[in-house]
Amino acid sequence: MPNPRLTGLGSGVFCTASMFALACLDWLLFGASVIVYGVLFLPVCALTALWVRRADLVTAVVAIPIAFAIGLLPIADSDGGFLGRLTNLVTVLAMHAGWLYGGTLIAGLIVTVRKVRLMSRRAAQRRAAAQAASQAAQSAQAAPQPATRQKSPAQPRRRTA
């Protein structure tokens, strides 16, 4: 499996573009089935949460609901023009919010596990660095100090002519 690291914006674009393309494919092959769209939404959520950079983990969870709503545009078609399409979009969002909650929950769990692992890894690195520093300080104190040569008071040089 590839290991891309998407930025926050990149993960949002990936999720949104994937869901829109899958919705168009669903519309062509399955006649705009929201169930098929919801099933396809779950792995996209998992991939988005797995592929986002460590610094942008929170953005994956924010981008997922936006991608779900934008992806529904081809599925929520209506003959009533813009307002009819908008009404149908809101209806589909309300009736199939379980898919949205499930995908967001999957992404949230993956992001949380990744964040906890990152925090524990950093804490272990800090502990190792502190332990190495304390061992270095102890070894520096225990090592015999080299004898330093004491300087005699400086006497002026005599000039000889």
Q: What is the pLDDT of residue 146?
A: 62
Mean pLDDT, residues 69-75: 91
Confidence at 145, pLDDT banded by 50, 70, 90: low
Yes or no: say if 48 and 60 are a contact pair by the CB < 8 Å rule.
yes
Token reading at 81: 């023009």
Q: What is the pLDDT of residue 151?
A: 63
Mean pLDDT, residues 90-104: 93
Q: Which of 62, 63, 61, 81 is nearest to 71 (CA)?
A: 63
- Mean of per-residue pLDDT scores for the chain: 88
- Cα gap 117→41, rounded to integer Å: 26
Q: What distances in angstroms separate CA 147 from CA 57, 91, 138, 144, one per listed residue?
A: 56, 86, 20, 9
Mean pLDDT, residues 7-21: 95
Token reading at 147: 């004898």
Q: What is the pLDDT of residue 150?
A: 62
Q: Which of 43, 3, 51, 52 is nearest to 19 (CA)?
A: 43
Q: What is the pLDDT of residue 136?
A: 85
pLDDT of 53 strictly over 80? yes
Confidence at 153, pLDDT banded by 50, 70, 90: low
pLDDT of 99 strictly over 70? yes
Query: What is the pTM (predicted TM-score) of this model?
Result: 0.76
Q: Which of 37, 53, 57 is nearest to 103 (CA)?
A: 37
Token reading at 17: 């573009």
Q: What is the pLDDT of residue 160?
A: 73
